[in-house]
Structure 1
Amino acid sequence: MIRTSPPVDGSGLTRAIARARRVAEECILPAAGSSDAIFLALRHWLRESSRVLLLDPTYGEYAHVLERVIGCEVQRFRLSREDGYCVDSARLRSVLLNNYDLVVIVNPNSPTGRHVPRAELGSVLVDSPQATRFWIDETYAEYAGPDESLEAFAAASPNVVVCKSMSKAYALSGVRAAYLCASPQSIAESCGRSLHPGA
C-alpha cells in the first residue's frame, strides 16, 4: 500500500471503523488526520457571524481555525488551576443557555489531561439547546477507558459530532488517519462523504 498513491475512496476504512465502533457506516466520515477534519468541517459549517464556545486551555488548533481562519466570535469557558482544570458541568450547563452555534470540547482535554465521564457529558449534551452543535474531540479517549467514547451517542444525535484521531492511542501519526462519527444527516452536512480525496 505504501508503494502506491492513497485510495481516493475511504469506503474500506469506513466499513472497518463502523464495525469496530458498532455504528452504521453512514455515521462515519474518514479524514486525512484530525487537522483535515477540523479545518474542512468547521469551515464548512461556520461563518464570521457564528458564535463558538471553546474550553480554555485546550488544543490550540481550534482557536487558530475559529479565530484566524474563519473569523468567528469565540468565547472562552475558562478552566482554573485552582479547580485542577476540571470542567464544572453545572457552570457549563448555565453557559450553554447562551445558544452558541458550536461548542468544542476536547475530552480528555489537551493539554490538561482532564476527562469528563461519558455519562456526565452525555447528560449535559441532552439538556443543552438543540440548535447548538457540539464537536467532541476524542483524540485521547482511549486513555480514559474502553467505554468512555460518545460515538454511539453522536451517531443517534442531530447535533453532536465526535472527532477521532488514530495518531495518539494507535501511534499512527504518520498515516494521517482520523474520522468523524455523527448522525447520517450531520455527516452529509460535513462536506459530503469524504473530507479529503486521500481519506
Structure 2
Amino acid sequence: MSINHGANLYGLSSKYGFSKDEFMDFSSNINPFGTSNLAKEYVINNIDMVSMYPDPDYINLKKSISNYCKCLAENIVLGSGATELISSFIKTINPSKTLLLSPAYSEYEKELKKINCSITKYFARSEDDFIIEPNELISTINKDNYDLIIICNPSNPTGFTFSKTQIEDILKNTTGFVMIDETYIEFTDTDIYSSTNLVDSHKNLFVIRGTSKFFSTPGIRLGYGLIGNEDIRESINSNLDLWNINTIAASMGEIMFSDKSFISHSVDVILSERDFLINELSTLNGVKVYQSNGNFILCEIKSKKITAKELRENLIPNKIIIRDCASFDGLDEYFFRVCILKPSENRLLLKHLKEIL
C-alpha cells in the first residue's frame, strides 16, 4: 500500500509552473475559509509571546477544549498534531490484535506495524454504499476478541459516519479499546455524531482530534486526545515531550475553539456546498456519488471510460487537483475524492468535470 496523503503542492508547482496559491486543491480536505480571524489577530497583536515558554500544564488551552468538546479538562492529552497521538496511544496500549475499519488513513496501519500488531481489516463495501451495520461489527469484534478497534468517524475517504448512539452501543457491547479519529467530525452535527463527551464515562474509549482540517491550521501542529482511563492517559503524557505545543499553537487554540462565529459560518457554508456538490456530481454521466457526512465526497467512475489518475491529470492544467483514491485499500483506480472548497471554486470543478466526463 502506498503512503499517500494527497497533493504535494510544492512538487506540482515546480512541474507545471504554477504558484502553489493558484491551485484549487480539492484533495486536501482543509477548510477553504482559512482559520479564525480572532486567533490570527491575537497572534499578530501579541507576537512578543514567542519570547516566553508556554504554560507546561496548558490550563487555558485545556479549558477551551473542554468547553468545546463538552468533556472534563482532566481527560485531555495534547499532541503535536493528531498523528503523534495516534502513535502514542498505540504504543501505550500495545495491542496484539487490532480490527481496522477500512478503507482508512494509512498512518493507523503504519503505527500498528511498528509494534508487530496483528491487523484485520474490516472493509466497508461499495455494494453497501460503504455503510457499516453496527451489530455486525460488534459480532465480528467479539468473535475474535480484538484488543483495539480503530474507527475514523466520519470515515476518510467514504464519508460514512456512526452516530454517537451507535458508538456507545459498540462501547457497551465490547471489551477492547476503541480509538475514534474525529478529524472530520466538526463538518457534521456534532450533537448527533461526536463521541467526545462519552470519554468521561467509558474508560475503553480514546477520541482523537486535530485542528488541521476544520480550523485550517496544519502549520501549527496542534492535536488533542480525550480519554477517561487515568492509567493510559498518564502513560501517554509521561512519554510526550515537555512543552510539546508551542506558544503560538496554544494561544491560537485557546481562541479558535471559542470563536462561535467562525465555527457556525464554516459549518453552514460547507454543509450547504456539500449538498449542492453531491446533487450536481450525481448528474455526471457514468459516475456514482456516495453520501458523505465529511467535507469531502467519494465518487466512482462506473463507466470506466477514464481512470481517476487520468481524470486528475486532465484537471491539473486547469489548476484543479482531486484525490485519486487508488492508494486506499479496498478502492480501485476508478475512485476519486473531492473536498468542499469555496462556492466559486466548486462550480469551476463541476464545469471542468462535465467537459471531461
TM-score of the superposition, structure 1-length normalised?
0.89
Q: Work out the CA distance in 1 between the residues paired with 2:53 and 2:132.
A: 40
Distance 1:5 1:60 in 2: 37
Shift of 1:187: 5.0
Structure 1: gaps (5+ residues): none
Question: 2:157 maps to what in 1?
Answer: 111
Give me the TM-score of the superposition, normalised by structure 2.
0.51
Higher relative contact order (CA 8 A, sep 6+): 1
In structure 2, do the counterparts of structure 1 residues 169 and 91 end up closer, same or farther at CA, with 3 Å as the change threshold? same
1:180 aligns with 2:213: no
* C-alpha spacing 1:137/1:125, structure 2 compared with 1 (3 Å): same
Which residue is equivalent to 2:118? 73
The alignment partner of 1:192 has SS state of helix
Task: Classify 1:5/1:79 alpha carbon distance in 2 versus 1 (closer, same or farther; 3 Å).
Answer: farther
SS at match of 2:186: helix
Matches of 2:201 and 2:195, distance apart in 1: 10
Contact 1:55 1:78 in 2 (8 A): yes
- Is 1:62 the counterpart of 2:101 in the alignment? no
> 1:14 and 2:62 equivalent?
yes
One of 136, 151, 167 as aligned partner of 2:196: 151
Whole-angstrom distance in 1 between the partners of 2:149 and 2:73: 25
**Alpha-carbon spacing, 1:85–1:5, altered in 2? closer, same or farther (3 Å):** farther
Q: Please provide the CA RMSD for this pair.
A: 2.0
- Which one of the candidate residues 73, 83, 87 is aligned to 1:25? 73
**Aligned residue number for residue 291 of structure 2:** none
Equivalent residue in structure 1 for 2:181, among 99, 124, 137: 137
Give a deviation string over 1:106-150, Cα, whole Å, max 9, x none: 000111111111212221221112xx1110110011112131211
- Relative distance call for 1:8 and 1:39 in structure 2 (3 A) is farther
Q: CA deviation at 1:192?
A: 2.6
* Structure 2 segments unaligned to the other structure (5+ residues): 1-46, 246-357
Q: Which has the larger radius of gyration?
A: 2
2:27 is matched with none
Q: Which residue of 1 aligns with 2:98?
A: 52
CA pair 12-93 structure 1, distance change in 2 beyond 3 A: same
> Take 1:171 and 1:190, find their aligned partners in 2: how far apart are those partners?
30
Q: Which runs of 4+ in 1 moved over 4 A?
A: none
- In the alignment, is the contact (CA less than 8 A) between 2:70 and 2:196 conserved in 1? no
For 2:43, the equivalent position in structure 1 comes to: none
Distance 1:64 1:182 in 2: 22
| Whole-Å separation in 1 of the counterparts to 2:186 and 2:72 | 21
Task: Confirm or deny: 8 A CA contact 1:29 1:195 kept in the other structure.
Answer: no
Give the deviation of 1:196 after TM superposition.
3.7
| 1:31–1:196 contact (8 Å) kept in structure 2 | no
Say if 1:187 and 1:193, in contact at 8 Å, map to a contact too.
no
- The aligned residue for residue 86 of structure 2 is 38
1:145–1:196 Cα change, 3 Å: farther
Aligned length: 194
The 8 Å contact of residues 115 and 144 in structure 1, kept in 2 or not, is answered as no
User: Do 2:93 and 2:232's aligned partners in 1 also have CA atoms closer than 8 Å?
Assistant: no
CA distance in 1, matches of 2:200, 2:235: 14
Which amino acid counterpart does residue 203 of structure 2 have in structure 1? P
Indicate if the aligned counterparts of 1:139 and 1:165 stay in contact, CA closer than 8 A: yes
Map Cα deviations across residues 60-88 of structure 1 (whole Å, 9 max, x no partner): 11011112x22100111111111111112
The 8 Å contact of residues 156 and 182 in structure 1, kept in 2 or not, is answered as no
